[in-house]
Every structure is written in C-alpha cells, then in structure tokens.
Amino acid sequence: MLKQEGKKILGTSKPTILCMFSGGIDSTGVLHRLMTSREYEDHPLIIHHIHIYNREDRARAEACAVKQILNYYSRNIHKEFLYTESIFNTNGFAPLNSNRFPFDMDTCAFIAGNICASRKDIEYVAMGRTRTDIDSVSENFDDRMNRAQGIFKGVLSLEDSHPPTYIFPVVKWTKAEIWDSLPERIKQACWWCRRPNYNVELKAEPCGKCQTCREVRRFKHAGV
C-alpha cells in the first residue's frame, strides 16, 4: 500500500532514501534493488516521478510505466513507500528555435534538491547511473553528472545541514544485467524509448530508431 503521510515512513532510525524514478530501465533497476535488497530494507523510501514535458513527448509513456510498476511493487513487495510527483514543462521553449533543452539529469537534480530541502530526514538520493553509462565516454557522462550534482548542491546551498549524498545502487551493472534482474511483469511495464510513437488509441510504442531503442534491441529478446 502506498503511504501518503508520516515523517518517518517506516518508523525506523535508518535514514530516508529519495528515489528519482522515471519508469525507465535504469531507474527501475534502482527501485527494484531498493524494494528487494536486504541492504536497503530498513530505510524509509520516497519515490518521486517528474512528468517531463518536452519535444520528445515521453511524459505519457513514462507515466503509464510508473503507474504499472508501482502497482506491482505495492501488491507484491511488503515494503512501504511514499510516492510523490511533479511537472516540468519546457514545451514553451519552442519559439526559441533552440536545439537544446534541459537534460533529464539536471531536472532531476533541481527537483531532488528542493525535495531534500523540505524533508530533512532524507540522507540519500538514489539515481540510475550504470556501468553502461560509465563506459559510454563519448557522451561526456561524467561531465554531465558533475554538473547535475552542482545543481543539486546549489539548490541546497542555503540550508544549514550537509546536503544528502547521491547513491547509485546499480552502478556496477550494465543495462542488460539490470534488464535480466527484473521480474517479467516489470520488464513488460518498463519504458525506454526517447521518442515514442502513439497509435490511434494513444498507446505508446517504441520508435525503434533512437539510441536507447538500438541499445535495448541488443539484449531484449522481443522485438523493439
């Protein structure tokens, strides 16, 4: 059952973990570990999803994945959690004719910082960094991660307490290894495509062409 109240969700002395959750493979791998691993079983858990509206148009697909995945865990795993959500909309940037829009990592850092500022019991922020990310040096992942952490700490710079620490529960795993670790029903619910297509019933379908679709195709047995 989702818990919507209480400062210490589980009533334990362990510090609270904030999980920034998109419904994608990486963040679902993080959530699965937080929900099932003994390492995290006594930590109160807050799960936050950001409905990110931008030109990639993933918000509807991700929201559907998040709903299905959280329903699975609430019914099958006996761990309480608090679920919250927010909206970040940059569709209004269109008249700027810009090729850039905020990275998801930066948006998550900004929202996470504000959540941590209002919840002093949070000591850890769980994010979906993987071994695949680390090996993908061509994308300057470390530079983007350092910038995101700078945003996170900047939001908290006026707070009296030390900022919470980012943790990466699946940092030693590749995306393929994360996929293999997930229950079948969670695999069916996960979303990964950066630029989904929507059919006449507004159901999201992977484009099959974006970088993530090509990456997932290498290890996912069903067609993308």
- The count of C-alpha atoms lying within 13 angstroms of the C-alpha of 79, restricted to the half-sphere facing its C-beta, is 23
* Residue of 171, 105, 172 whose CA lies nearest to 139: 105
Tokens of 17: 């973990």
Strand partners for 83: 47
**pLDDT number for residue 12:** 56
Residue 5 carries which side chain, given as an amino acid letter? E
pLDDT at 145: 87
* Statement: residue 3 has pLDDT above 50: no
**Domains, the chain:** 16-183 (3.40.50.620)
The share of the chain scoring above pLDDT 70, in percent, equals 91
Predicted pLDDT of residue 59: 96
Residue 178 has φ and ψ, to the nearest 5°, of -60, -45
Question: Please, which pLDDT band fits residue 138 given cuts at 50, 70 and 90?
Answer: low
Q: Does residue 139 register a pLDDT over 80?
A: no
